[in-house]
Structure 1
Amino acid sequence: MKFQTAIDIDAAPATVWRALTDVESWPKWSASMTSVERLQQGELTVGSTARVTQPKLKAAVYTVTECEPGKSFVWEMKATGVKVRAIHLVEDRGEGHARMILGIEQTGALSGLISMLYGKLTRQYVTMEAEGLKKAAEAEAQTLESGTASD
């Protein structure tokens, strides 16, 4: 199964990136996450891991396998018969605007069965995450603008 969604965000790419890589805050803005626990401190980089708990799904540890700071990261998890690859990409749309692209790919011997059982839920969760990120980044952008305006 492959699924991708894109959403335009009225915030600078750097603001979107901060919200995106603060993975432990994801449950605050997306009901698709119960908890996200970083297993190391510091910046999100290749090799970073996080335990992700989502409603109706078993907790899983994701490992960052690709990272271009400020632009994108990919993290993956493996379970019996399936590998899940989640793509997070921030595009600069100019003039303080960004586009967030989220994608998920499931491969492996059991990926077809898992897609049948959980495909709809997975697509809902990815969409919820995109919408939640948009709200979080735009709220942060508003706060930054308000702070700047009052100086």
Structure 2
Amino acid sequence: MIHAPLSTIWKLQTDVERWPSWQPPVSTIERLDHGPFRQGSSFHWTTPIPPNPETSATSLDITSTVKQLKYGSCIRWTGPAVGEGLRIDGVHVWNFTKVRGGVRVTTEETHTGPQVEANVPAATEILSQGLKSWLTDLKTTAEAAH
């Protein structure tokens, strides 16, 4: 649970151009459209990926497109992530639920691609670590702002 208002958490998550200010793993980011963050919005970003049994350490070059957005409740984006020797197609879902004392934020992501399917346990562990880090950074930043 994040002990901060939903509006604070939502703004952090949807103001993608500011992600590098609170998410150290996000190296670069650029919105590819203008105006409010909405269904159809897209953004291009990079993030490192550690070495693993299938690929050496690389930087993922990701283009995400928002496929579903319900203000204050849910975001789903999809897109390819490409690195040296690596191609992943992902679907990322975020859910935000007001609860007593704050907001419960949950996320899930699915990845497909030859390297993912070659070693599902390793890919799952890398993805899990990344999602936990993202949630921790979101919680820390939102609670500090509140």
Q: Pick the TM interval, shorter chain.
A: 0.7 to 0.9
Superposed displacement of residue 82, structure 1: 4.3
Instruction: Using structure 1 for the length normalisation, give the TM-score.
Output: 0.77
User: Any unmatched runs of 5+ in structure 2?
Assistant: 50-58
Q: 1 or 2, which has the higher helix percentage?
A: 1
Q: Does residue 36 of the first structure (1) align with residue 34 of the second (2)?
A: no
Q: Which residue of 1 aligns with 2:20?
A: 27
Does the 8 A contact of 1:45 with 1:67 survive in 2?
yes
Compute the RMSD of aligned alpha carbons: 2.1
2:42 to 49, 55, 67: 49
In the aligned structure 1, how far is the partner of 2:119 from the partner of 2:23? 22
> What displacement does 1:44 show?
1.1
48, 70, 73: which is aligned to 2:72?
A: 70
Pick from 86, 97, 100 the counterpart of residue 91 of structure 1: 97
The alignment covers a number of residue pairs equal to 133
> Where do 5+ consecutive residues of structure 1 fail to align?
1-7, 142-151
Contact map agreement 1:86 1:104 (CA 8 A) in 2: yes
CA 136–79 in structure 1, closer or farther in 2 if over 3 Å, else same = closer
Moved over 6 A (4+): none
SS in 2 for 1:137: helix
Cα distance change of structure 1 residues 114 and 49 upon mapping to structure 2, 3 Å threshold? farther
